[in-house]
Amino acid sequence: MHPLFALPIAYILGSIPSAVWVARIYKGIDIREHGSKNAGLTNAFRVLGWKPALPVIAVDLSKGFFAVFIAQLFHEPSYEWLPIAAGLLAIFGHSFTCMAGFRGGKGVLTALGVFLALQPVLALTCFAFWGLLFAATKYVSVASIGACAMLAVLATFGYASAFLPVYKLDIYVFVLSWLVAVFVIVKHKANMVRLWNGTENGFGKKRKT
């Protein structure tokens, strides 16, 4: 198989709309018409409960990870960029899924899977930072935005490896980190407006009326 076949595979994997399918199977609803109307883990958890959210976690993480893993199998010098492009396509597939009318989620969990395959130390550091922010604020959106900002910061220092050699990155992962950080933060623009207005729904917090 030609290495470039890894790219459509990555997009198709990313396009698996786990939250949409789980909601249809579990409750017979379109999750994009309930809660925050987002086809992602947080809305699945709120609308369906924690048990149906578990397969959403498993699928969204796995599709990002395996999109990169499959591309990495084609280890050729002329295709060094292939796992990066595959990771980006998996995230785009999650957000613009061809299997559910191009209306998907925001890509946070799929991005975590992508970076677990590419640079696990960087991924786990950002996930730990996400956890700290969530514990402090109870807002998933704040934690996700903050973790993406941390991804860009650590990628910048990691590319200049003299500063943080543990996060040493090549140019491809550096560029991907910034693209993903900007993309996911922009996808949270509605959340940022609600945070500014004090109407964002956090866990353990009631929305203002």
| pLDDT digits 0-9 by tens, 99-140 | 999 999 999 999 999 999 999 999 999 999 999 999 999 999
Structural domain boundaries enclosing 195: 119-209
Are 114 and 129 part of one and the same domain? no
Residue after which a domain boundary falls, among 68, 95, 118: 118
What's the confidence (pLDDT) of residue 209? 37
Banded pLDDT at 66 (limits 50, 70, 90): very high
Contact 126, 154 (CB under 8 A): yes
Half-sphere exposure of 135 (CA within 13 A, CB side): 6
Contact 107, 154 (CB under 8 A): no
Contact 192, 142 (CB under 8 A): no
How many structural domains is the chain composed of?
2
* Mean pLDDT computed over 138-149: 96
Residue after which a domain boundary falls, among 97, 118, 139: 118
* Phi, psi of 160, rounded to the nearest 5 degrees: -90, 75
Are 9 and 94 part of one and the same domain? yes
Q: What is the pTM of this model?
A: 0.92
